[in-house]
């Protein structure tokens, strides 16, 4: 979908989103609403909450080109923090608008566009994905708002989508802004300097469900997706066959789920030892998870071996003159629906969509395109031709949620998933 999908109309959304009766909605540019004299802040900068930095340190890192960020509000899920600056018209005790939808919109993944004023062409695009705030931004023109909406709506698994009826977008609902918000006075902005530098702590859950993982994924794009006309021959066996390395491999959601399960099965604590790295990969027939364990001065290999067998049912391999150990566990790749018919995206689409999705979440994304290999002539059968994107992401939060952002991307071959308990990465 793109911005051309919208019906252009300069009078978009006038009565659908603003209520001419009580309660009154007054927009104060650049990013404050007044509803029945209650001030609501929109357009906050939302970041994953880090447990290794104070709020002041994290706000400084997040500032970028914005003014000094001196106000904050925790998200309802306690895994994000929204920052704002008093120099941009925000003040303490304003409510954080992106936090005020939960009572009216009960689903975890939703996208909405609201017109903020009849006097000016300002719009608010706000969204949540899997319970996390995904977008909270004000736009000063209808076109800019429509362009942003058309980009975000391409993300998979929206449970509800709200837009003005004038935009004529399929499968969207209309919702008035005054009906969408619940003005909860406990969700207001607070000054960062009043926290006195306390370190924000997140409980470390050893189930790995919410812990940080590095994911390596190959996004393969074949010449077939570019509509390249390959030479024809009367002999079917001589036809160039485009390789499909994703066929027979798990999809990203299944890969993440099974790898996390296996990591839980080999994760155990032993006095005098610490798990350095947990790594999971797949080949043509199995998943394999490996735990790399390092010894402290008091560690006993005999005791480690006993605990490993007790908690995992597996033996360990000792190396590094008794200073290192490794334990492995595997599982057969389950039967799953065929991936033969996946229609691949072109390189430009892969690059554009993934960067927009993950940069919106300020994720540490690495995406590199490798061009197609040259085919070798006069071979039987001819050498296959393919190109690919090498994709990796580092995150301290919810790898399941990040994996969900890739579920609609065809041709994915998950390769490795790594968790480092020593630094929650």
Above 60 in pLDDT, residue 148? yes
Region 20-25: what's the mean pLDDT? 59
Mean pLDDT of 25-48: 90
- How large is the average pLDDT for residues 416-425? 66
Q: List all residues 6 or more positions away from 279 whose beta carbon is below 8 Å from its beta carbon.
A: 289, 290, 292, 416, 417, 418, 419
Query: What pLDDT was estimated at residue 23?
Result: 62
Q: CA 24: distance to chain centroid?
A: 36
pLDDT the model gives residue 396: 57
pLDDT of residue 157: 83
**What would the 3-class secondary structure string for the chain be?**
CCHHHCCCCCCCCHHHHCCCCCCCEEEECCCEEEECCEEEECCCEEEECCCCCEHHHHHHHHCCCCCCCCEEEECCCCCEEEEECHHHCCCCCCEEHHHCCCCCCCCCCEEEEEECCCCCCCEEEEEEECCEEEEEEEECCHHHHHHHHHHHCCCCCCCEEECCHHHCCCCCECCCHHHHCCCCCCCECEEHHHHCCCECCCCCCCCCCCCCCEEEEEEEEEHHHHCCCCCCCCCHHHCCCCCCCCCCCCCHHHHHHHHHHHHHHHCCCCCCEEEEEEEEEECCCEEEEEEEEEECCCCCHHHHHHHHHHHHCCCCEEEHHHCEEEEEEEEECCCCCCCCCCCCCCHHHHHHHHHHHHHHCCCEEEEEEECCCCCCCCCCCCCCCEEEEEEEEECCCCHHHHHHCCCCCCCEEEEEEEECCCCCC
Q: Is the pTM of this model over 0.85?
A: no
Predicted confidence band at 374 (pLDDT cuts at 50, 70, 90)?
A: very low
Quick check: 39 pLDDT over 90?
yes
Give the range with max mean pLDDT: 164-178, 271-285, 344-358, 359-373. 164-178
Q: Which of 18-27, 59-68, 350-359 has the lowest mean pLDDT?
A: 18-27
Residue 173, pLDDT > 50, answer: yes
pLDDT at 198 over 70: no
Q: Is pLDDT above 50 for 29?
A: yes
> What average pLDDT score do residues 194-200 get?
36
pLDDT tens-digit readout, 236-259? 454 445 567 777 788 888 888 888
pLDDT of 150 higher than 50: yes
Mean pLDDT of the chain: 75
pLDDT, mean of residues 4-24:
40
HSE (side-chain half, CA atoms, 13 Å) at 397: 18
pLDDT of residue 94: 92
Return all residues near 85 (Cβ < 8 A) that are at least 6 apart.
66, 67, 68, 69, 70, 71
Q: What is the pLDDT of residues 287-326, one digit of tens each?
A: 999 999 998 877 888 888 888 888 788 889 999 998 999 9
Give the lowest-confidence range in 95-104, 175-184, 367-376. 367-376
Q: What is the pLDDT of residue 327?
A: 92
Give the residue-averaged pLDDT of 333-342: 78
**What is the per-residue pLDDT for 32?**
94
């Amino acid at each position: 979908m793109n911005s051309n999908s919208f019906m252009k109309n300069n009078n978009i959304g006038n009565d659908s989103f603003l209520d001419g009766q009580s309660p009154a909605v007054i927009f104060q540019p650049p990013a404050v609403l007044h509803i029945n004299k209650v001030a609501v802040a929109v357009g906050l900068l939302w970041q994953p909450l880090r447990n290794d930095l104070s709020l002041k340190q994290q706000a400084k890192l997040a500032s970028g080109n914005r003014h000094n960020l001196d106000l904050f509000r925790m998200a309802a899920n306690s895994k994000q923090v929204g920052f704002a600056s008093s120099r941009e018209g925000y003040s303490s005790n304003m409510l954080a608008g992106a936090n005020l939808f939960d009572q009216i919109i009960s689903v975890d993944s939703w996208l909405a566009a609201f017109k903020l004023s009849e006097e000016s062409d300002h719009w608010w695009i706000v969204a949540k994905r899997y319970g996390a705030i995904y977008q909270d931004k004000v736009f000063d023109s209808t076109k800019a708002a429509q362009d942003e909406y058309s980009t975000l709506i391409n993300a998979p698994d929206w449970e509800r989508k709200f837009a003005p009826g004038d935009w004529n977008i399929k499968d969207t609902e209309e919702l008035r802004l005054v009906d969408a918000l619940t003005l909860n006075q406990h969700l207001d902005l607070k000054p960062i300097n009043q926290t006195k530098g306390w370190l924000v702590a997140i409980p470390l859950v050893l189930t790995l469900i919410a812990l940080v993982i590095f994911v390596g994924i190959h996004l393969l794009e074949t010449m077939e997706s570019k509509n390249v006309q390959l030479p024809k021959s009367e002999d079917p066996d001589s036809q160039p066959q485009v390789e499909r390395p994703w066929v027979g491999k798990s999809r990203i959601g299944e890969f993440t789920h099974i790898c996390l399960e296996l990591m839980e099965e080999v994760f155990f604590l032993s006095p005098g030892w610490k798990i350095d790295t947990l790594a999971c990969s797949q080949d043509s027939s199995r998943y394999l998870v490996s735990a790399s364990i390092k010894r402290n001065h008091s560690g006993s290999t005999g005791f480690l071996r006993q605990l490993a067998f007790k908690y995992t049912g597996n033996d360990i391999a000792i190396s590094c003159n008794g200073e290192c150990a490794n334990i492995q566990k595997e599982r057969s790749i389950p039967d799953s629906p065929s991936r033969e018919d996946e229609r691949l995206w072109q390189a430009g689409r892969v690059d554009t969509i993934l960067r927009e999705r993950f940069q919106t979440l300020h994720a540490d994304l690495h995406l590199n395109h490798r061009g197609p290999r040259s085919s070798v002539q006069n071979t039987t059968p001819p050498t296959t031709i393919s190109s690919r994107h090498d994709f990796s992401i580092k995150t301290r939060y919810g790898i399941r949620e990040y994996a969900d952002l890739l579920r609609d991307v065809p041709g994915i071959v998950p390769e490795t998933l790594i968790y480092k308990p020593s630094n929650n990465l």
